[in-house]
């Protein structure tokens, strides 16, 4: 097997590892902001794969956007969940089921995880703006897994990207702040290159921009946002090399600047995907959310 082909399969295995899949269903288009349960056909495995390998087709079919898991209800704090590469909103089923739905309004952001993360960030900004205009939402909490955390940090570093919407808490799980060397190999050697691989490759310009601006000055998260940084460290029985969670290295998850800017850092002896179905993680999220003041602005219909 050639170096290029071997690197390609290494990256593919890494991006697929631990991600949940569901059976394919029929196509469905829709608005960028809508009400939808987790069983929405947009979130099928076929559409997940399309988002990785054919993001332009995914966009043309209007698969992505922000979706209310429950119909909007007044005076509930919006909690926005952002999945990782090769993932979908269904990955958050466990955490959403453990939310106090009498006080918190779960929403999910579905996107083509093969797209450049900059483009995904622009889409997210547009959708949050629509939430603000259509539903009078002025505050929300973000819960993000894996590269979803990178996208969320990018959003927070640009106040104009969420104008009129305060984000008091960023709750990230197993995010590769320091990037992934295997993604760099894939971007260099694979016969088919996914744009998001370039962004998460260790040392990429995108990752650099999350911590340093164009003038070379450090970029800090807003003082009004508390970042809860959760990392995972259980390796599979066949894992070798750096300590990690079978997908992302601990060193990447604990990138020094990300740690320094975090409000709290918590480690969990689980794999990259198991962190999404861990009871202790659900309890920590519940405690974090209940520490926030009750929503004072009604969610519009």
Say if CB 222 and CB 162 are below 8 A apart: no
Say if CB 2 and CB 34 are below 8 A apart: no
- Rounded CA-CA distance 260/56 in Å is 37
**Residue environment code for 204-234, b if the CB has 16+ CB neighbours within 10 A, otherwise e:** bebbeebbeeeeeeebebeeebbbbbbbbbe
Q: Which of 20-29, 192-201, 281-290 has the lowest mean pLDDT?
A: 20-29
Say if CB 276 and CB 108 are below 8 A apart: no
Confidence of residue 57 (pLDDT cuts 50, 70, 90): very high
- Rounded CA-CA distance 213/19 in Å is 32
pLDDT recorded at residue 77: 94
Q: CA dist 226 to 84, 161, 170, 237, Å?
A: 21, 18, 6, 35
Work out the average pLDDT over 172-200.
76
Per-residue pLDDT tens over the stretch 217-272: 999 999 999 999 999 999 765 555 567 888 899 999 999 999 999 999 999 999 99
Q: CA dist 193 to 11, 131, 235, 265, Å?
A: 10, 33, 27, 33
| CA–CA–CA angle 44, 46, 52 (5° rounding) | 110
Report which of 32, 121, 139 is spatially closest to residue 79, judged by C-alpha positions: 139
Per-residue pLDDT tens over the stretch 118-142: 999 999 999 999 999 999 999 999 9
Average pLDDT over the chain, rounded to an integer: 85
The overall longest dimension of the chain from CA atoms, in Å, is: 60
pLDDT recorded at residue 246: 81
| Cβ-proximal residues to 274 (8 Å cutoff; 6+ apart), any chain | 18, 232, 234
Tokens 């450049």 identify what position? 116
pLDDT recorded at residue 240: 54
| Cβ-proximal residues to 216 (8 Å cutoff; 6+ apart), any chain | none
In the chain, the domains with their CATH numbers are 3-290 (3.40.50.1820)
**Two structure tokens written together for 257:** 């600047």
**Two structure tokens written together for 227:** 């970042």
Query: Is the full-model pTM beyond 0.75?
Result: yes
Q: How many residues does the chain have?
A: 301
Confidence of residue 34 (pLDDT cuts 50, 70, 90): confident
> Going by DSSP bridges, is the β-strand pair 77-82/226-232 parallel, antiparallel, or unpaired?
unpaired
- Rounded CA-CA distance 238/282 in Å is 28
- Rounded CA-CA distance 277/234 in Å is 14
């Amino acid at each position: 097997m050639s170096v290029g082909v071997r690197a390609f399969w290494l990256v593919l295995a890494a991006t697929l590892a631990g991600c949940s899949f569901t059976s394919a269903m029929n196509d469905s288009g829709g608005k960028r902001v809508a009400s939808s349960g987790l069983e929405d056909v947009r979130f099928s495995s076929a559409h997940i794969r399309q988002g990785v390998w054919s993001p332009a087709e995914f966009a043309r079919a209007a698969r992505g956007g922000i979706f209310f898991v429950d119909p909007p209800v007044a005076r509930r704090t919006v909690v926005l969940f952002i999945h990782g590469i090769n993932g979908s909103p269904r990955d958050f089923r466990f955490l959403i089921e453990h939310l106090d739905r009498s006080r918190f309004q779960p929403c999910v952001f579905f996107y083509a995880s093969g797209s450049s993360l900059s483009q995904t960030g622009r889409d997210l900004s547009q959708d949050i703006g629509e939430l603000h205009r259509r539903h009078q939402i002025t505050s929300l909490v973000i819960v993000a897994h894996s590269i979803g955390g990178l996208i969320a940090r990018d959003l927070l570093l640009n106040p104009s990207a969420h104008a009129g919407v305060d984000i008091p808490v960023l709750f990230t799980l197993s995010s590769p702040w320091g990037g992934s060397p295997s993604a760099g190999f894939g971007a260099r050697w694979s016969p088919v290159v996914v744009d998001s691989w370039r962004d998460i490759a260790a040392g990429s310009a995108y990752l650099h921009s999350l911590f340093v601006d164009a003038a070379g000055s450090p970029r800090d998260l807003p003082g009004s946002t508390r970042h809860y940084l959760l990392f995972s460290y259980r390796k599979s029985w066949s894992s070798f090399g750096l300590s990690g969670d079978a997908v992302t290295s601990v060193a990447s998850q604990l990138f020094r600047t990300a740690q320094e800017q975090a409000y709290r850092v918590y480690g969990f002896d689980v794999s990259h995907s198991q962190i999404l179905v861990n009871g202790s993680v659900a309890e920590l999220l519940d405690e974090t959310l209940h520490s926030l003041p009750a929503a004072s602005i009604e969610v519009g219909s």
